[in-house]
C-alpha cells in the first residue's frame, strides 16, 4: 500500500475521551500492549457515528495518548486496512476543528454578518408601514402589522427543510443558495405592485433568509469545542437580536427621506455583497460531507470501491440516502420538541421572548407617534433602548460565559455539564418583567419620552443574557442534533414572533398600555424558574429522556 495514501486515510483514535480545555493535565496510567491497541482501534473504527457532535466528542476533543505517540510502523492496523476512511490524524488540518483560529473567526464573521442582515430585514420595514398603507390605500392595521411579521413566518418554515438539506449536501451550498433566494425575493419586495404581493414576497424572502439562523449554529458546533462556544455564540447572536433593533432606526429615515421601497433596496444591495463574500470565502465545515467527498476521491485514486466513510459505517444504506435524511430532518425537530422536555421548555421561553421583541417592533412606532407626536423617521430612535441593552448583554455574556463553565467544571472535578451555562439566566429573566412594567406605565402616563426608552434597556440586556446561553446550552446538550434542535427552536420562536404582534393592537386597545404590558410582564415572571429548574434537573432529564430519532 502506498504510504502517502496510508497517511491520507489513517484516522486518529483514542481509548479515552475528554475535553482538553476542561481536563488539563490528566494523564493515563494504564499501559496497553500493541495487540490491545490494534483491537481497540478496530473496534472504535467500526462504531457507528451518528453525527458530527458525537464524532468530535469521541475523536477530536482530546489530547494524544500513548498509542498516538507510536511511530507509524508500530500500527498493526489502520482504518484503511479496515476499508474505512477518516481523518489523517487528530491534527488533520482538513478537519474544521483544526482550522486556524483566524480562519474559524473569519468564517463565523461572514455567517454572523448575513445573520445580522436577515433579521434586520425583518424590522427595517416597520416604520415604513404608514407609507405603505398610504401607497396601497390600506386601512387595516392588522394587514399592516402582518406585512411586517409575515417575514418571521418564513423563518419558521425555512429551517425545517434547509437544515436537513445541509446534512445531505453540506453547509456551504445550502447557505449560498438560500442567500441568493433571499436576495432575489428582497428585490421582489422593492418592486411589489400591491400589498398582497408584498406580503407574499416578504414571506419567501424570510424563507431564504432563515438558513443562516440554523446553519450558523451548526457551523459553530462543527468548528468549536464546548469551551469556545460561548464566545462564538455570543458573536453570532449579535445579529439575531441587534439586527432587528438597527432595522427600524435606519428604516424610518430611509422611508421618509427616500421612500419605503428603498428600505428593501438597501437590504438587497448589502445582501448581494455579503452573499458574494460568502461564495468566495466560505468553506465546508460539516465533517460527514467532507469525509464523504474524501471517500469518493480515494475510491477512484486507489481503485477500491469498498472504502466507506467512517461516520456512516455500519448504518443501513437506506438511512443515509438523501430522501431519508431529508425526511428525518423534517420530522426530527418536531420529535425533539415533543419528546425532549429540555428542547420544549427552552423553546417556549425563547419563543415568548422573541414574540415580545417583535411585538415591540410593531407597536413602538404607533405608540411614539400617538403619545409623543414623533414623526416616522424619528420613531426609529425609540428602539435604541433595546439596542443598548443588547450590546450590554452580549458583552457581559461574551466575557463570562466560557469563563463560568471552566470555573464550574473545575469545582465539579473537571467534569463539564451543559447545565453550567444556565445559572445567570435567572438574573437576566428578572429584568424582563421589570422592563415591561416600567415601559407600560410610563408610556401610559405620558412620562417624558426618554423614560420609556430607558425602560427598554433592561429588556434588551435580559433577552441577550437568556438567548445566547440557551442557544449554547442546546448545542452542548445535543451536539449530534444541533441543527435539528435549533431548527425546532427557530420554528417555534418565529411562529411566536409572527403571531404575537398581531395581537398587540387589539390588546392595547382593550387593556391600555399600562395593563397590557403588565400582563406580558406577569407571564414573563412565570418563565423565570425555567433556567433554574433546568440547572437543577437538566442532567436527570437528559438521562431519563434521551433523544432517539
DSSP letters of 339-394?
H-HHHHHHHHHHHHHHHHHHHHHHHHHHHHHHHH---HHHHGGGGHHHHHHHHHHH
Does residue 53 register a pLDDT over 50?
A: no
pLDDT at 321: 61
pLDDT at 261: 94
What would the mean pLDDT of 20-28 be, rounded to a whole number? 41
Listed ranges 142-151, 384-393, 429-438, 473-482; the one with the highest mean pLDDT: 429-438
CA dist., res. 31 & res. 84, Å (int): 27
CA dist., res. 176 & res. 272, Å (int): 11
Q: For 313-352, write each residue's pLDDT tens digit.
A: 545 554 556 677 677 767 888 888 888 888 888 999 999 9
In degrees rounded to 5, what are phi and psi of residue 152?
A: -70, -25
Query: At which residue does the C-alpha cell 446550552 appear?
Result: 473
Q: What 3-state DSSP class applies to 309?
A: strand
pLDDT at 79: 61
CA dist., res. 352 & res. 519, Å (int): 13
pLDDT at 55: 41
Q: For 146-189, write each residue's pLDDT tens digit.
A: 888 889 888 888 888 888 788 788 889 999 999 999 999 999 99
CA dist., res. 17 & res. 400, Å (int): 26
What would the mean pLDDT of 367-392 be, rounded to a whole number? 85
C-alpha cell at 283: 468553506
Does residue 73 register a pLDDT over 70?
A: no
Domains of the chain: 3-80 (no CATH), 97-286+320-544 (1.20.1250.20)
Cα distances (angstroms) measured from residue 130 to each of 191, 259, 506: 18, 11, 18
Q: Residue 143: which pLDDT band, with cuts at 50, 70 and 90?
A: confident
Angle between helices 384-411 and 457-477 (to 10 degrees): 40
**Contact indicator for 380, 248 with CB cutoff of 8 Å:** yes
**Contact indicator for 532, 541 with CB cutoff of 8 Å:** no
CA angle 385, 500, 197 (to 5 degrees): 100
Q: What 3-state DSSP class applies to 1?
A: coil
**Contact indicator for 98, 225 with CB cutoff of 8 Å:** no
Cα distances (angstroms) measured from residue 52 to each of 110, 170, 398: 22, 12, 25
Does 441 or 504 have the greater pLDDT score?
A: 441
- With residues binned 3-state (H G I as helix, E B as strand, rest as coil), the percentages for the chain, rounded to 5, are 75, 0, 20
**Contact indicator for 117, 330 with CB cutoff of 8 Å:** no
Does residue 33 register a pLDDT over 50?
A: no
Does 429 or 83 have the greater pLDDT score?
A: 429
**Contact indicator for 163, 214 with CB cutoff of 8 Å:** yes
Does residue 113 register a pLDDT over 50?
A: yes
pLDDT at 322: 60
pLDDT at 403: 79
Q: Residue 92: which pLDDT band, with cuts at 50, 70 and 90?
A: confident
Does residue 191 register a pLDDT over 90?
A: yes
DSSP letters for 195-226: HHHHHHHHHHHHHHHTHHHHHHHHHHHHH--H
pLDDT at 170: 87
Q: For 272-291, write each residue's pLDDT tens digit.
A: 999 999 998 888 888 888 88
What would the mean pLDDT of 525-548 be, rounded to a whole number? 86
Among residues 248, 229, 164, the alpha carbon closest in space to that of 420 is found at: 229
Rounded to a whole number of angstroms, the CA Rg of the chain reads 25
Cα distances (angstroms) measured from residue 65 to each of 2, 70, 121, 311: 26, 9, 50, 22
pLDDT at 20: 42
Does residue 128 register a pLDDT over 90?
A: no
Q: Residue 94: which pLDDT band, with cuts at 50, 70 and 90?
A: confident
Contacts of 346 (CB under 8 A, 6+ apart): 470, 473, 474, 489, 530, 534
- Mean residue pLDDT of the chain comes to 79
Q: What's the whole-model pTM score?
A: 0.69
Q: Which helix (H) or strand (E) holds 84?
A: strand 84-85
275-279, 388-392, 394-398, 463-467, range with the lowest pLDDT: 394-398
Q: Residue 36: which pLDDT band, with cuts at 50, 70 and 90?
A: very low
pLDDT at 313: 53
pLDDT at 455: 95
Cα distances (angstroms) measured from residue 221 to each of 227, 265, 502, 534: 11, 34, 35, 21
Contacts of 324 (CB under 8 A, 6+ apart): 318
Listed ranges 58-62, 151-155, 359-363; the one with the highest mean pLDDT: 151-155
Q: Which helix (H) or strand (E) holds 85?
A: strand 84-85
Does residue 256 register a pLDDT over 60?
A: yes
Does residue 267 register a pLDDT over 80?
A: yes
- DSSP code, position 5: H
Among residues 14, 18, 15, the alpha carbon closest in space to that of 61 is found at: 18
CB crowding 497-518: b at 16 or more within 10 Å, else e: bbbbbbebbebbeeeebbebbb
**Contact indicator for 147, 195 with CB cutoff of 8 Å:** yes
CA dist., res. 309 & res. 296, Å (int): 9
Query: How many CB atoms neighbour CB 430 within 10 A?
Result: 14
Q: In whole angstroms, what separates CA 468 from the centre of its chain?
A: 9
Strands (E) in 271-328, as ranges, are: 308-309
Amino acid at each position: 500500500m502506498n504510504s502517502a495514501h496510508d497517511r491520507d486515510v489513517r484516522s486518529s483514535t483514542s481509548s479515552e475521551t475528554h475535553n482538553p480545555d476542561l481536563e488539563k493535565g490528566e494523564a493515563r496510567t494504564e499501559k496497553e500492549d500493541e495487540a490491545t491497541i490494534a483491537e481497540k482501534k478496530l473496534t472504535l473504527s467500526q462504531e457507528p457515528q451518528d453525527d458530527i457532535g458525537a464524532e468530535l466528542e469521541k475523536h477530536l476533543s482530546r489530547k494524544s495518548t500513548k498509542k498516538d505517540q507510536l511511530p507509524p510502523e508500530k500500527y498493526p492496523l489502520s482504518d484503511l486496512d479496515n476499508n474505512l476512511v477518516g481523518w489523517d490524524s487528530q491534527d488533520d488540518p482538513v478537519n474544521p476543528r483544526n482550522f486556524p483560529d483566524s480562519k474559524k473567526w473569519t468564517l463565523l464573521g461572514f455567517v454572523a454578518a448575513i445573520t445580522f442582515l436577515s433579521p434586520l430585514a425583518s424590522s427595517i420595514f416597520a416604520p415604513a408601514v404608514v407609507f405603505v398603507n398610504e401607497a396601497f390605500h390600506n386601512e387595516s392595521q392588522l394587514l399592516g402589522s402582518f406585512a411586517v411579521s409575515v417575514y418571521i413566518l418564513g423563518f419558521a418554515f425555512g429551517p425545517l427543510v434547509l437544515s436537513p438539506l445541509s446534512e445531505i449536501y453540506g453547509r456551504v451550498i445550502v447557505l449560498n443558495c438560500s442567500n441568493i433566494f433571499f436576495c432575489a425575493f428582497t428585490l421582489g419586495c422593492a418592486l411589489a405592485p400591491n400589498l398582497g404581493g408584498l406580503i407574499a414576497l416578504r414571506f419567501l424572502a424570510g424563507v431564504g433568509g432563515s438558513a443562516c439562523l440554523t446553519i450558523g449554529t451548526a457551523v459553530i458546533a462543527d468548528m468549536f469545542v464546548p469551551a469556545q462556544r460561548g464566545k462564538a455564540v455570543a458573536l453570532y447572536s449579535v445579529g439575531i437580536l441587534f439586527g432587528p433593533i438597527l432595522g427600524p432606526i435606519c428604516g424610518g429615515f430611509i422611508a421618509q427621506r427616500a421612500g419605503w421601497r428603498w428600505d428593501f433596496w438597501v437590504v438587497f444591495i448589502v445582501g448581494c455583497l455579503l452573499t458574494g463574500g460568502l461564495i468566495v470565502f466560505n468553506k465546508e465545515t460539516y465533517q460527514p460531507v467532507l469525509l464523504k467527498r474524501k471517500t469518493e476521491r480515494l475510491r477512484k485514486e486507489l481503485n477500491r470501491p469498498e472504502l466507506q466513510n467512517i461516520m456512516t459505517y455500519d448504518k443501513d444504506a437506506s438511512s443515509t440516502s438523501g430522501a431519508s435524511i431529508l425526511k428525518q430532518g423534517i420530522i426530527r425537530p418536531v420529535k425533539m420538541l415533543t419528546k425532549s422536555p429540555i428542547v420544549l421548555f427552552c423553546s417556549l421561553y425563547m419563543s415568548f421572548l422573541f414574540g415580545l421583541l417583535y411585538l415591540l417592533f410593531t407597536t413602538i412606532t404607533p405608540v411614539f407617534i400617538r403619545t409623543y407626536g414623533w414623526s416616522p423617521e424619528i420613531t426609529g430612535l425609540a428602539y435604541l433602548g433595546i439596542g443598548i441593552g443588547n450590546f450590554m448583554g452580549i458583552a457581559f455574556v461574551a466575557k463570562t460565559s466560557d469563563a463560568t463553565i471552566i470555573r464550574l467544571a473545575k469545582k465539579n472535578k473537571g467534569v463539564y455539564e451543559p447545565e453550567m451555562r444556565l445559572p445567570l439566566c435567572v438574573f437576566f429573566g428578572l429584568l424582563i418583567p421589570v422592563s415591561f412594567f416600567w415601559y407600560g406605565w410610563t408610556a401610559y402616563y405620558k412620562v417624558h419620552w426618554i423614560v420609556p426608552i430607558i425602560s427598554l434597556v433592561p429588556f434588551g440586556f435580559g433577552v441577550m443574557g437568556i438567548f445566547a446561553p440557551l442557544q449554547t446550552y442546546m448545542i452542548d446538550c445535543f451536539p449530534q442534533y444541533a441543527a435539528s434542535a435549533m431548527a425546532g427552536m427557530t420554528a417555534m420562536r418565529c411562529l411566536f414572533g409572527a403571531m404575537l404582534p398581531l395581537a398587540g393592537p387589539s390588546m392595547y386597545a382593550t387593556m391600555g398600555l399600562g395593563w397590557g404590558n403588565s400582563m406580558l410582564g406577569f407571564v414573563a415572571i412565570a418563565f423565570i424558574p425555567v433556567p433554574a429548574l433546568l440547572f437543577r434537573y437538566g442532567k436527570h432529564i437528559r438521562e431519563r429522556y434521551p433523544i432517539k430519532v
